[in-house]
Amino acid sequence: MIVKTPEQKKAVKQGMLSNVMRQFDNAADIIGLNSNIRKILEVTNNELVVHFPVRMDDGEVEIFTGYRVQHNNSLGPYKGGLRYHPTVDIDAARALAMWMTWKTSLAGLPYGGAKGGIQLDPTKYSDEELQRITRRFTYALGDNIGPELDIPAPDVNTNPQTMAWILDTYMSTKSPAERSTNMHVVTGKPIGAGGSQGRDRATGYGVFLNIKFWAEHKNINLKDKRFIVQGFGNVGFWAAYFLEKEGASMVAVQDAYGSIINEEGISVDDLLAYTKANKGSIMGFAGAETLDSSGFFGLDCDICIPAALGNVITAANASKIKAYLIAEGANGPTDVEAEAILLKRGVTILPDILCNSGGVIGSYFEWLQNRNGEIWQLDEVLEKLEKKLRESFTKVMETSVKREIDMRTAAFIIAIERLEETYVQRGIFP
């Protein structure tokens, strides 16, 4: 397990905000973004920090700090996940909220960007404590979230159960006549609580689809291709699951507990079953050997999928990467210096705002179903998801080729130009 010092954690969080701003500035410079619109997009609209007490199982009261940053809503309601992690703070929330604005814009969704969470390590709390923490956080957020204002979703260390608790708490603050009309205050809910078929796999399936689209574009067959995955949570599992179905082989996996490797391939389903029986950890899995985590990104493979946290591919390890394709399942996994090294070496990076946008598109489908009182079948959801992602991928690839730029810069340009057009057409109040 790789343990970061407080100073290293702080550097990662500051690095994420620096990364997103540099990515934005790079694209804005290329298109000559209107200076006034640039000023608007460089800052967040609203930043909420809440401190709230929660009674623990032993009767003691603990104070928690929660965040919600709303970056921009010119295209529609704020949209973005809530994460429970020790690295959550205002800078991390700002960076992630900005990425969500570009992601929703690129996907052509009627949403703006937001992000937030609670600064805690969820492994240190019981399920009952996490439920009380979540409900108290929801109450503290109050009317700062809402189905037509700001719609949270699952993120790192949160899941459908977390969303169900938020939904129930939020609805209980409304009058009985209004409750059913607030079902779409969160997405990523369990099916029985108004969730959508396919939302569980939407992000990972989207990562897989982007890899597949890229392979088609390059006339590459994914059969027998070797891939490694960092993070074997929801995103990492589903991306690996669909790649394995395509005939590719998962040869190594890393999570918060350590790293494992098997040159002959690791069964995705078997590893999932093992982690479910071992508190989420991949360590000790019989179908693989333990690997020194420091050498994970330097492993011999064709495709690398960082699907955990931000800033894990840096200038320190970029030159060791052997994969020729990096598919960003996480938000901000590659820092600016690392990207420059990788691009110079001819490595292709499928950027986060494109590659993992299947999650927010799936959330949009859930939101629509709740709003309209509809229930879509799984095949219908996956078909719509593939169509939407193919449109985005095609636009990014065409812009990349036409302008002779990397895919991240192309994705940012498309996202920023859509926002710029909105401001030009609507003007700025008053």
pLDDT in tens, 124-169: 999 999 999 999 999 999 999 999 999 999 999 999 999 999 999 9
* CA–CA distance, 72 with 79 (Å, rounded to integer): 10
Which pair of structure tokens corresponds to residue 115? Answer: 């992000």
CA atoms within 13 A on the CB side of 232: 30
13 pLDDT above the threshold of 70: no
pTM for the model: 0.94
- 124 catalytically annotated: no
Three-state secondary-structure class, residue 417:
helix
Query: Nearest-5° angle of CA 35, CA 410, CA 312?
Result: 100
* CA–CA distance, 420 with 398 (Å, rounded to integer): 20
Q: State the alpha helices, DSSP H only, in 116-201.
A: 127-141, 160-172
Q: Phi and psi dihedrals of 175, rounded to 5?
A: -70, 155
pLDDT tens digits along 373-408 = 999 999 999 999 999 999 999 999 999 999 999 999
* CA–CA distance, 416 with 420 (Å, rounded to integer): 6
Residue tagged active-site, from 115, 189, 225, 388: 115
3-state helix, strand, coil in the chain (%, to 5): 50, 15, 35
Burial class (CB in 10 A: 0-12, 13-18, 19+), 9: middle
pLDDT tens digits along 228-266 = 999 999 999 999 999 999 999 999 999 999 999 999 999
* CA–CA distance, 117 with 80 (Å, rounded to integer): 10
1 pLDDT above the threshold of 80: no
Task: For tokens 């309209």, name the residue.
Answer: 372
